[in-house]
Chain A
Amino acid sequence: MKLSDAEQAMLDGSHGRATQKAMELLVRYAEALGAQRFVETTNVAGVPGSATPFLQQHYAKSGGSYAAIFSHFDLDSDELLDVPQAVTHTCHLQSGYDPQNWKLLGAKPEAFELAQGSEQFIKDRGVEILKTCTPYLVGNVPRFGEHCAWMESSAVVYCNSVLGARTNTEGRESTSAAMLTGRIPDWGFHCDDYRHGSHLIEVDFPVESVMDWGMLGYFIGAAVGERIPVLRGRYAVPDLIRHKHFGAAAASSGGVEMYHLVGVTPEAATEEAAFGGGSPVQTIHYGVEQRRRVYQDLNSGASDSNVDFVMLGCPHAAIEQLREAARLLESKHISANCNLWIFTSRTVKAEAEREGIVRTIRAAGGAVLTDTCSAIGQAVPPGTKVVALDSAKQTHYLPAIMGIQAWFGTTSECIDAAITGRWRGELR
């Protein structure tokens, strides 16, 4: 590997042991990838220092402290280190507990206290506590071409595709090391050639609604796997909520980290630009029949039309989505047999409180929750058997994780299910 003088100095220990260990980890990682050098990153999004009872117990010999967890787990160092300040802009993504509603989510007090302690530990090191899978909705909007080190597949695909910033799907250890060094391997999506499209998707069915964008994403992820789809055809220019649901779905059924919408996304002014002058390895059509099959696939795990749980906000709800939920719930009340949880970020919830939206949702019997979701927090109301979801991503994960049935449909159908306790959704 070619290291700059500054990088060599970090590796030699001139910035302290923790920085040295972080650099050692990044060198091991870069060599594993086959990368030749690092890029400087000015935007890190990870989950530094997150403590769990398992990690605390495992590192009991080092005192089970937050520094022990950060040293041994985040930096994969056998030595206990003093953890310094972040040297580059770093935010904390989603975690497992809503600090205001952890009891509702069924968390144990010890686990919650541990999580609160790790939040303080990382806050003291200059990390922004965004606690959301949608940093781009709450002020962390990387500029075009900015080298980022982000975790969270739905945020990664948004960062690359919609913003034209550059990130691979990083992990906890690489983002924590980047936080202390401002470096990440120059590999994959940091390189121009890697960002060109591979598959052409002809969108024959007019895609407009949020649900339709989610289904299209779920179809494409399964069809292209880890490759880069280029879409053209019959779609209206999507807003950021549609991008959010499309990308999250494509990153769940497959491993899509970047997509191009011809004439819409910043690196796809033309189809030729999207493919970097090359030609597609395959052309795939999405029409009425493909749409019907995706819908069936997403709903294949459900048979009981009695719905006892509705979960919205995957990825975390934007303010417009909370407004829509409140509008649908105005002067209504959810069924006594059903719970409604809507997940968002702390920042968006604060705005929703100012607008009176949280009050409306609460008056209808629903809850607006932050920091986590049912899949990440592994939390559903006790006794839940059947959930209704408006997110293809959550439909992909939640039934498998929690062993429950899941219906997939529009936000409006989900709210209707919360009010009536019955699933009445259908493909329109």
Chain B
Amino acid sequence: MSGTVLTDRIITLTGRKVVGGVAEGEALVTRDTISGWGGVNPMTGVILETRHELRGQSFKDKILVFPGAKGSSGWSVVFHMSRLAGAAPRAMVFNEMTTKVALGAVVMRCPSVTDLDQDPLEVIDTGDWVRVDADAGTVQVRKRAAV
């Protein structure tokens, strides 16, 4: 993030609570759906999937912003294990509801929101500071800008 700085510009998105709680941190944004089993190393939170735009990057302690889940029914197990290993994201913001992502968010005990009034993939960029208040269904985005 060299050459950039957090600005005072704050955008608020409103949606629906998936799992309650409040968390804030740096956003990690992808337009690719995420596979759990076979796609993520639960011990490190690193995305493994070949051809994934986040391949090699970890979601550990990030606010993970993504379209949704895909792949094996082992999705929840892999994300559940990432919590046990201390490699889970701090919060999740996503667009498409599936049983995989719902169960994964629940067992990760990870504040999560969906059905937002603006597309989070359009509004949020990697590196922005994001505060998720899942109980209120809000996502506050503090934009990062080049200096």
Contacts and interface: CB of A to CB of B under 8 A. Distances in A.
Interface residues of A, number: 33
Interface size class of B (residues with CB under 8 A): 20 to 34
Contact of A25 (B84, B105, B106): B106
Q: SS class of chain B's interface: helix, strand, loop or mixed?
A: mixed
Interface stretch (A8-16, A113-121, A163-171, A356-364): A163-171
A278 interface: no
Q: SS class of chain A's interface: helix, strand, loop or mixed?
A: helix
Contact of A33 (B80, B84, B97): B97
B71 A255 contact: yes
Contacts, number: 85
Interface string B101-115: 011111101001000
Nearest to A398: B38
Interface string A244-262: 0000000010110000000
Nearest to B81: A54
Contacts of A29: 102-103, 106
B27 interface: no
Contact of B49 (A58, A151, A400): A400
B13 interface: no
B103 A173 contact: yes
Contacts of A174: 76, 99, 103
Interface in A24-82: 25, 28-29, 32-34, 54-55, 58, 73, 76
Given A32-B18, A172-B74, A255-B71, A400 B102 contact: no
Contacts of B112: 32
Interface in A149-202: 151-153, 156, 168-174, 187-188
A58 B43 CA distance: 12
Interface in A73-109: 73, 76
Contacts of B70: 225-226, 254-255
A174 B72 CA distance: 15
A152 B72 CA distance: 7
B100 A171 contact: yes
A168 B50 CA distance: 26
Interface in B41-87: 48-50, 68, 70-77, 80-81, 84
A171 B76 contact: yes
A171 B102 CA distance: 10
Nearest to A174: B103
A170 B16 contact: no
Contacts of B38: 375, 397, 400-401
A173 B48 CA distance: 24
B107 A173 contact: yes
Interface string B13-57: 000101100000000000001000010000000001110000000
Contact of A170 (B18, B33, B99): B99
B106 A76 contact: yes
8 contacts: A29-B103, A32-B105, A171-B74, A171-B100, A171-B103, A226-B98, A254-B70, A255-B33
Given A73-B80, A171-B74, 14 more contacts: A32-B105, A33-B102, A54-B81, A54-B84, A76-B80, A171-B103, A173-B76, A173-B80, A174-B99, A188-B99, A225-B70, A255-B33, A255-B98, A401-B38
